[in-house]
C-alpha cells in the first residue's frame, strides 16, 4: 500500500469542564502520514501543543485495538468517523486527503456530560448495567455451564449482542439520544441464554427504568444507531427488549 503525507486542518471542540460553554479551535497539522491512526495524529498535534506551552486536547483511549470503546469522537458529523463498523482508534488517516478539514467533537447527549474537550462522562451506562445487566444466581462451575444445552441460533444471537462495547455511538447518532441499542444488547445476550432466565423479568424492567432515570431519549426508529455501531449490533435487539419488557410488565400486573 502506498504511503503518503498530507497537511490537514483540524477544528476541535475545546471545553474546560461541563460548566464551560466551550467552542471550536482550529489547528493546522502538517506532514501527517496516511498510515497513522486518527489517535496517533492527535498525539502528534498534542506534542506540538505541549511544546508551545499550550493545553493538549483531552480525549479518551485505552486499548487502541477497537475493544474498549473509549475512543469516542464525533468526526465530521459521524460517530467514530467515516468507516463502517470501525472505532476511532482503528480509523487511519488514509481515509482523508491532503488539504481536508476535519471537525472533531465529543458525544452530544445530556446523559453524557462533557468532562473536558472530547471526554464525556459515560457512567450512566455503568449504572444501567448495575441495575440488572448481570447474572447473580449460582449457575455452577464451568463444566456445569458447558453441559447445559443451548440452541445454536440463540447462542449465536447472544454472542452477537454481547459484542457491544458500550462506546455510546448509538446515543450520539440518535436525534433523541436514545440508549435503547445499548440496553437491548445487554438485555438480549442474557435473555437468550438459560443462565439469564431466573432474572429475566426484573432485568428488563430495572434496566429500562434506570435508562429513563438517566435522561436518555426514546427510540426514533430511524436505525441511525445500528448504522454507526462499530460492532454492528442489530436493531433486532430493540424489538427483543420491547418483548422482554412487555412480558415482564404483564407478569408484574398479575
Instruction: For strands 119-120 and 114-116, give the pairing.
Output: antiparallel
Whole-angstrom CA distances from 155 to 138, 195, 203, 226, 244 are 20, 12, 19, 21, 18
Measure the N-to-C terminal CA separation of the chain; round to a whole number of Å.
Answer: 64
pLDDT per residue over 1-13, tens digit each?
678 999 999 999 9
Grid cell 498530507 — which residue?
6
Instruction: For strands 114-116 and 5-14, give the pairing.
Output: unpaired
Quote the pLDDT of residue 148: 78
Instruction: Say which range, 91-95, 106-110, 144-148, 181-185, has the weakest mean pLDDT.
Output: 144-148
pLDDT per residue over 147-205, tens digit each?
778 899 999 999 999 999 999 999 999 999 999 999 999 999 999 998 898 898 899 99
Structural domains of the chain ordered from first start? 5-116 (3.10.20.30), 122-252 (1.10.1060.10)
Amino acid at each position: 500500500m502506498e504511503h503518503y503525507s498530507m497537511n490537514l486542518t483540524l477544528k476541535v471542540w475545546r471545553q474546560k469542564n461541563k460548566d464551560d460553554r466551550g467552542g471550536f479551535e482550529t489547528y493546522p497539522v502538517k506532514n501527517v502520514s496516511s498510515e497513522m491512526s486518527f489517535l496517533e495524529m492527535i498525539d502528534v498535534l498534542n506534542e506540538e501543543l505541549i511544546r508551545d506551552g499550550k493545553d493538549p486536547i483531552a480525549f479518551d483511549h485505552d486499548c487502541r485495538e477497537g475493544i474498549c470503546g473509549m475512543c469516542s469522537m464525533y468526526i465530521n458529523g459521524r460517530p467514530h468517523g467515516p468507516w463502517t463498523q470501525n472505532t476511532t482508534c482503528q480509523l487511519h488517516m488514509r481515509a482523508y486527503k491532503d488539504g481536508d478539514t476535519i471537525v472533531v467533537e465529543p458525544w452530544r447527549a445530556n446523559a453524557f456530560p462533557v468532562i473536558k474537550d472530547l471526554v464525556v462522562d459515560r457512567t450512566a451506562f455503568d449504572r444501567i448495567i448495575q441495575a440488572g445487566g448481570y447474572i447473580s444466581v449460582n449457575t455452577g462451575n464451568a463444566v456445569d455451564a458447558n453441559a447445559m444445552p443451548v440452541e445454536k441460533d440463540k447462542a449465536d444471537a447472544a454472542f452477537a449482542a454481547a459484542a457491544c462495547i458500550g462506546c455510546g455511538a448509538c446515543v450520539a447518532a440518535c436525534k433523541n439520544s436514545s440508549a435503547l441499542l445499548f440496553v437491548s444488547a445487554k438485555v438480549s445476550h442474557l435473555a437468550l441464554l438459560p443462565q439469564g432466565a431466573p432474572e429475566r423479568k426484573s432485568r428488563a424492567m430495572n434496566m429500562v427504568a434506570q435508562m429513563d432515570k438517566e435522561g436518555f431519549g426514546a427510540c426514533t426508529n430511524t436505525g441511525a444507531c445500528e448504522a454507526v455501531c462499530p460492532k454492528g449490533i442489530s436493531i433486532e435487539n430493540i424489538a427483543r427488549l420491547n418483548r422482554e419488557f412487555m412480558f415482564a410488565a404483564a407478569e408484574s400486573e398479575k
